[in-house]
Amino acid sequence: MAEIEFREAIRDALAEELERDERVVVFGEDVAAAGGVFVTTPGLFEKFGPERVFDTPISELALAGAAFGSAVCGLRPVIEIMFGDFLPLVMDSLVNQASKYFYISNEQASVPLVVRSAVGAGGRFGAIHSQSPVTWFQAVPGLKLVAPSTPSDAKALLKGAIRDDNPVLFLEHKRLYSLKEEVIGHGSEVIGLGSAAVRREGSDVTLVSVMKGVHDCLAAAELLASDGIDAEVIDLRTLRPLDRGAIAESLSKTNRLAAVEEGPRTGGWAGEVLAVAAEESLDDVDDLWRITTPEHPIPYSPTLEDAFLPGAEAIAASVRARLGVAAGRS
């Protein structure tokens, strides 16, 4: 089995889709000659040339407008917004144009564009370069949101996003770029958007998350196992569309669910997960709750940033408290 790094999975997905479909183009700030600030696009410029992979001026607004225009005219653009914190600059193109064009064209024209962006805290980037801006876009019909947690899923979901006829926001957690995973075969799988994955089977409580939060939940599940608590871990993979069936199916086994979000409680996607859980499985639910970050900007101080994030210890402690179990019970 070959081992692949998360950033390599992103690059390979882009290379394979550029090879497969001549309509695919990749552009953004430093994605061509430099290979990307997070080293996710090296070699693409050299292989596919400046008409398929090219650098742009430092203008996220211009990037998004060019992506929308080229998608409407028949291309399948993939653009990179270097940090997710800069996504407000593309709001108009994504929210008021790309996501609504299929509807206002009377379903005559699709907008197959992908916006890739690095998100997430824990890397000491400070308050303006560490956010996970999922909920800024959560309430936009017509826009899909993807948030992978593993290299193999990153590759398969990115390929699925590029082939999707809808605009897609593809979020890559900065602290996962160096994550490695063994991939069986040549890793050419394509995952359609909207299906969750069970990362760990369990019977006592369901932990739901995305991106790095999935790994924190898995680590928390191991801690809880030593206390006699059997946690199931669900990786949503996409936040819009949301896999309601996977949430309901897990709750039918555990009757308890905690949504773990790297983001503030107010207006977060975790609240949507709890709403879905209540709507789908209200008669089977003993407890639903959220584990989120505090309601303030992300600290730069390493000590404060670590305490700010809902890591494995905090998740396990929250589950113990809700279940009334003391640590080290077993």
Helix (H, G, I), strand (E, B) or coil at 232: strand
State in Å, rounded, how far the first CA of the chain is from the last one.
37
Report pLDDT for 283.
73
- CB neighbour list of residue 77: distance below 8 Å, 6 or more residues apart: 24, 25, 26, 27, 66, 67, 70, 71, 113, 114
Which secondary-structure segment (H or E) carries 307? helix 302-308
Cα(327)–Cα(312) distance, integer angstroms: 14
pTM of the model: 0.95
> Do 228 and 179 contact (CB within 8 A), yes or no?
no
The residue with tokens 């040339």 is 49
> Mean pLDDT by 10-residue block, N- to C-terminus, for the chain (330 residues)?
90 97 97 96 97 96 96 97 96 95 94 98 95 93 97 96 97 97 73 96 98 98 96 98 95 95 96 93 85 95 95 97 78
Q: For CA atoms 120, 240, 150, 63, give the dihedral sign.
A: negative
Which of 129, 173, 215, 296 is catalytic? The answer is: 129
Report pLDDT for 218.
98
Report pLDDT for 185.
56
> Do 203 and 250 contact (CB within 8 A), yes or no?
no
Annotated active-site residue 129? The verdict is yes
Report pLDDT for 328.
65
Report pLDDT for 281.
75
Strand order of the sheet with strand 76-83? 53-55, 24-28, 76-83, 114-119, 168-173, 144-146, 238-240
Cα(123)–Cα(305) distance, integer angstroms: 9
The residue with tokens 């019977």 is 203
- Which domains occur in the chain, in start order? 2-183 (3.40.50.970), 197-323 (3.40.50.920)
> Do 289 and 322 contact (CB within 8 A), yes or no?
yes
